[in-house]
Chain A
Amino acid sequence: MTSQNNGLKSYLSAHMKDYGLLFALIAIMAFFQIMTDGTLMRPVNITNLFLQNSYIIVMALGMLIVIVAGHIDLSVGSVMGFIGALAAVMIVNWDMPVWVTIPICVALGGVIGAAQGYWVAYWKIPSFIATLAGMLVFRGASLWLLEGQSVGPFPQSFQVLSTGFIGDFFSRETTAPIAELVGSRNFNVLSLSVGVISAMVIVWLGLRQRARGKAYGIEGEPSAFFWGRNIIVLGALIFLSFKLATFRGLPNVLLTMGILIVFYAFVTEKTVIGRRIYALGGNEKAAKLSGIKTERLTFFAFVNMGVLAAIAGLIFAARLNTATPKAGFGMELDVIAAVFIGGASMSGGSGKIVGAVVGAFIMGVLNNGMSILGIGIDYQQMIKGLVLLAAVVFDVYNKQKQA
């Protein structure tokens, strides 16, 4: 029994980073849930949490890849603002249809990323400098494009990008008895089903991987941890989807975000390209001598970042229903902070998509919870700064203990 306990203990200490992050998020949520007398977890607030943080999370996905590749992108806030401004000008001023505007904006994001990535990848200009230049250029470009004015409002067809909800497959009348039962005004069956099904899929995938690993004789996670972790994730997903169901259902943005998160988690962890990005960040020269086209990979990391910044720009503009010249100022720092809180290393080569997403939620819950409590923006900034420092110190401390 003791030897088994030791095994669990050593496993936990080796994977403290992964579990620590999840525990931190749960602890922070529990703290604010109590402090706000339950406001934090009210359906409307949970919906808000997703809406408020969606663009940060979308950009954090791209930023994680850039940081794992050993670089940084300081321009994303400005690019996001610029694309939002462009969308506003195209739709509101030039009366262009939404379905034309969106692909053009996303493509332009890719071109902007390429324009910066080109210097970093092929000219070896430090990314800090190349993207600092980009940040200044696109701040100016937003001002120029909007001529210093706010432009809006957007037509409904554009706003749904952020504020829309996915319709239920049952009518309101059909679900009314359930709504009455749980004591809410309506009940969205789709939301709950998506939550339950995705929770099932996650557990099934985990079980399948364990079974395969066993067939190859690989010792996986101890089963206590596997089930513990899965029950938490399962519970959280079903709980959240239930809460959303009692409000207005699944926000469109949550769907976009969910698809992107799954896609990037898959690419970084399961594919050859993902593996090569980690190798590039871990040791560029060794990667190059292993036949990896490091320049091209760096270039595409920035192209990808540009595309995601553009998507975030569209979501952001749709949410505010207007484009302002100062949109996105300083946002790059929130994105970078989320990635580092999520456990990525400054020197490249390590970090996970799930970590970056959890990191972004930690920041988001802090923002949201402190705002509900009425804590001033001055204290909020200070606290967020200290949380960032604490997260990184915790990480470094863990590494030293292991060495």
Chain B
Amino acid sequence: MSILLEMREITKEFPGVKALDRVNLQVAEGEIHAICGENGAGKSTLMKVLSGVYPAGSYDGEIHYDGQLAEFRTLRDSEDRGIVIIHQELALVPELSIAENLFIGNERAQKGVMNWHETFQETEQLLKKVGLKDSPGTQVDKIGVGKQQLVEIAKALAKDVRLLILDEPTAALQENDSRKLLDLMLELKAQGVTCIIISHKLNEVRYVADSVTVIRDGMTVSTLDAKAGLSEDDIVRDMVGRDMSNRYPDRERRAGDLLLEVEGWNVWHPEHSERQVIKDISFNVRAGEVVGIAGVMGSGRTELAMSIFGQSWGRNISGTAKLRGSAMDVSTVDRAINGGLAYVTEDRKSLGLVLDETIQFNTTLANLEEVSAKGVLNPNEETKAAEYYRKALRTRTPSVFQKVGNLSGGNQQKVVLGKWLFTGPEVLILDEPTRGIDVGAKYEIYAIINELSAQGKGVVMISSEMPELLGMCDRIYVMNEGAFVGEMPAAEATQERIMSLIVTE
């Protein structure tokens, strides 16, 4: 098999940091090549070098593509040679139709006048290739994230792609949509398209990849051949540079007294008032217990959590919440916080943090009373609090005056956790606490959860990653279509048992 792409000794420096240090990458024609590494390891930087976002000359080393030395100066240069990147954040215009989106910047037109007939015809062919049955005129925001991802791939195909690069393509997808996407990748491979996939999900990497390059701290650690069979532990070991046979830290499990009890919880959709989103849910959490809520996306887990947390979602909310046996007022967010609840959102960037502000600003935001007297802030107390959580959670940052927008995902998540710990909660609801963060940081988050449980706090953990729930929880509730369809001790739970509960209901 011939080599399609070779990146030799790529070094890229930013003021003060070496993002890439003599990285080598070889991708064979017609293979699926995975790039694995922790957040901040340099994967995205490498892809930006490849695609011309960082123009030739701004880095050291050589790129050979299709047998020639390639010096891309813009994204356009690399696209002209058939290299297309699909980013984590989709680049579709939600208000436009699928057909319009497919040919943005690449319009089918004569002298600037759109040829709609040709546009729609080609769209139909492309959609067929990626297995989408929607009409070309459908507005993009009317289809789900999974289908949008497929539209992105169709868009790449419209540009006669030879090397397709997918950056975390399944991060926002549910199990079955992810599967569809991965199968499509295999199909494209059969048609001769070469793929590079960047992913945190090692089971997916194992499923599609022919070879894996692991990058750590801006350096190539290893290139593994996946065809002969590869275990996830092999990859993880190279990624973090240590053996990670135990991905979930141990914890002494002992559930104490009843802490939070929710009974008969009902919630209706805020806009479609006839739709009941949460149906008569009851559950409880004991002191020191980690309780998981399993379920597919859209099953109503986030809606349940937010409706309990100060009615931040939904309307016509009914039901009771009790803390240590006495009724709790959760009618507004500040009452819920004062009552001892904390909700760590799944969407830290848009719901959890003020990205333009410092770590200190964000840490104290939900409990300003603690760092003020008679409404006047004491900035020194604020710094003390922020420093305390920076050290306790081992947030990697030069100082607490750093803007949180500049931190990596794992460190941002620690800031959000610190912010809620500072409110002194009794029960924490963690919604997808490890989404989009790397293996090493995940382990640290798990350790923090264990620490909370050891302090006698109750933890509710919502997660789409079933191994995580099985590894971390004492008890798991299974949720489907707005109702709890099962409850089991984690010791008796298996992925199959949980899935079958979801499917049979």
- Give the interface of A toward B (CB within 8 A): 212-213, 215-216, 218, 270-276, 278-279, 282-283, 285-293, 349-350
Asked if A282 contacts B376 (CB within 8 A), the reply is no
In order of increasing CB-CB distance, the 6 nearest A-B pairs are A291-B334, A282-B354, A290-B366, A216-B380, A291-B333, A283-B354
Given contacts A283-B353, A289-B352, A291-B366, contact A275 B377 (CB under 8 A): yes
1/0 per residue, CB under 8 A from A, across B473-499: the answer is: 000000000000000000000000000
B387 to chain A, nearest CB (A): 8
Asked if A272 contacts B312 (CB within 8 A), the reply is no
Chain B residue numbers with a CB within 8 Å of A271 are 372, 375-377
Minimum CB distance partner of A350 in chain B = B356
- Of the listed stretches B239-247, B263-271, B343-351, chain A binds B343-351
A213 to chain B, nearest CB (A): 6
- In the complex, what distance in Å separates the CA atom of A275 from the CA atom of B345? 21
Asked if A349 contacts B356 (CB within 8 A), the reply is yes
Asked if A290 contacts B365 (CB within 8 A), the reply is yes
Asked if A272 contacts B368 (CB within 8 A), the reply is yes
Asked if A291 contacts B337 (CB within 8 A), the reply is yes
Asked if B355 contacts A270 (CB within 8 A), the reply is no
Asked if A289 contacts B312 (CB within 8 A), the reply is yes
Q: Is B225 interfacial (CB-CB < 8 Å)?
A: no
Chain B residue numbers with a CB within 8 Å of A292 are 333-334, 365
1/0 per residue, CB under 8 A from A, across B361-380: the answer is: 10001101100100111011
Chain A residue numbers with a CB within 8 Å of B365 are 275, 279, 286-287, 290, 292
Asked if B376 contacts A293 (CB within 8 A), the reply is no
Given contacts A272-B369, A291-B334, contact A286 B351 (CB under 8 A): yes
A65 to chain B, nearest CB (A): 16
- In the complex, what distance in Å separates the CA atom of A288 from the CA atom of B351? 9
Residue total for B at the interface (Cβ-Cβ under 8 A): 32
Asked if A272 contacts B377 (CB within 8 A), the reply is yes
Chain B residue numbers with a CB within 8 Å of A275 are 361, 365, 368, 377
1/0 per residue, CB under 8 A from A, across B9-43: the answer is: 00000000000000000000000000000000000
Minimum CB distance partner of B334 in chain A = A291
Asked if B368 contacts A286 (CB within 8 A), the reply is no
B9 to chain A, nearest CB (A): 28
Determine which of A215, A274, A287, A293 lies in contact with B354 in the assembled complex, contact meaning CB atoms within 8 Å: A287
Asked if B333 contacts A286 (CB within 8 A), the reply is no
Q: Is B254 interfacial (CB-CB < 8 Å)?
A: no
- Give the interface of B toward A (CB within 8 A): 309-310, 312, 332-334, 336-337, 343, 345, 350-357, 361, 365-366, 368-369, 372, 375-377, 379-380, 383-384, 419
Chain B residue numbers with a CB within 8 Å of A349 are 354, 356-357
A401 to chain B, nearest CB (A): 10
Chain B residue numbers with a CB within 8 Å of A293 are 332, 334
Tally of A-B residue pairs with Cβ under 8 A? 83
Asked if A286 contacts B354 (CB within 8 A), the reply is yes
- In the complex, what distance in Å separates the CA atom of A276 from the CA atom of B375? 11
Most buried by B among A274, A290, A293, A350: A290
Asked if B333 contacts A285 (CB within 8 A), the reply is no
Asked if A272 contacts B380 (CB within 8 A), the reply is no
Asked if A288 contacts B383 (CB within 8 A), the reply is no
Given contacts A216-B383, A291-B310, contact A286 B377 (CB under 8 A): no
A190 to chain B, nearest CB (A): 30
Minimum CB distance partner of B348 in chain A = A286
Given contacts A216-B384, A271-B377, A289-B312, contact A282 B333 (CB under 8 A): no
Asked if B380 contacts A213 (CB within 8 A), the reply is yes
Determine which of B345, B369, B375 lies in contact with A289 in the assembled complex, contact meaning CB atoms within 8 Å: B345
Known: A290-B337, A290-B365. 19 other contacts (CB 8 A): A213-B380, A270-B376, A271-B376, A272-B376, A279-B357, A282-B354, A283-B355, A285-B351, A288-B333, A289-B333, A289-B343, A289-B345, A290-B419, A291-B333, A291-B336, A291-B337, A292-B365, A293-B332, A349-B357
- In the complex, what distance in Å separates the CA atom of A273 from the CA atom of B357? 16
Chain A residue numbers with a CB within 8 Å of B310 are 291
Given contacts A271-B375, A290-B366, contact A215 B380 (CB under 8 A): yes
Asked if B368 contacts A218 (CB within 8 A), the reply is no
Most buried by B among A212, A213, A289, A293: A289
Most buried by B among A218, A273, A278: A218
Minimum CB distance partner of B357 in chain A = A282
Given contacts A291-B310, A291-B333, contact A279 B354 (CB under 8 A): yes
- In the complex, what distance in Å separates the CA atom of A356 from the CA atom of B204? 54
Asked if A290 contacts B333 (CB within 8 A), the reply is yes
Minimum CB distance partner of A290 in chain B = B366
- In the complex, what distance in Å separates the CA atom of A349 from the CA atom of B405? 14
Given contacts A272-B368, A272-B377, contact A218 B350 (CB under 8 A): no
Chain A residue numbers with a CB within 8 Å of B355 are 282-283
- In the complex, what distance in Å separates the CA atom of A283 from the CA atom of B405? 12
A207 to chain B, nearest CB (A): 15
Asked if B372 contacts A272 (CB within 8 A), the reply is yes
Determine which of B337, B353, B375 lies in contact with A286 in the assembled complex, contact meaning CB atoms within 8 Å: B353
- In the complex, what distance in Å separates the CA atom of A274 from the CA atom of B379? 13
- In the complex, what distance in Å separates the CA atom of A274 from the CA atom of B375? 10
Minimum CB distance partner of B344 in chain A = A289
Chain B residue numbers with a CB within 8 Å of A291 are 310, 332-334, 336-337, 366
Most buried by B among A213, A274, A291, A349: A291
Determine which of B309, B350, B377 lies in contact with A270 in the assembled complex, contact meaning CB atoms within 8 Å: B377
Chain A residue numbers with a CB within 8 Å of B350 are 283, 285-286
- In the complex, what distance in Å separates the CA atom of A255 from the CA atom of B365? 34
- In the complex, what distance in Å separates the CA atom of A287 from the CA atom of B364? 12
- In the complex, what distance in Å separates the CA atom of A292 from the CA atom of B351? 13
A95 to chain B, nearest CB (A): 42
- In the complex, what distance in Å separates the CA atom of A257 from the CA atom of B355? 34
- In the complex, what distance in Å separates the CA atom of A279 from the CA atom of B379? 16
Chain B residue numbers with a CB within 8 Å of A283 are 350, 353-355
- In the complex, what distance in Å separates the CA atom of A212 from the CA atom of B332? 36
Given contacts A216-B384, A279-B354, A282-B354, contact A288 B312 (CB under 8 A): yes
- In the complex, what distance in Å separates the CA atom of A289 from the CA atom of B351? 7
- In the complex, what distance in Å separates the CA atom of A275 from the CA atom of B377? 9
- In the complex, what distance in Å separates the CA atom of A290 from the CA atom of B353? 10
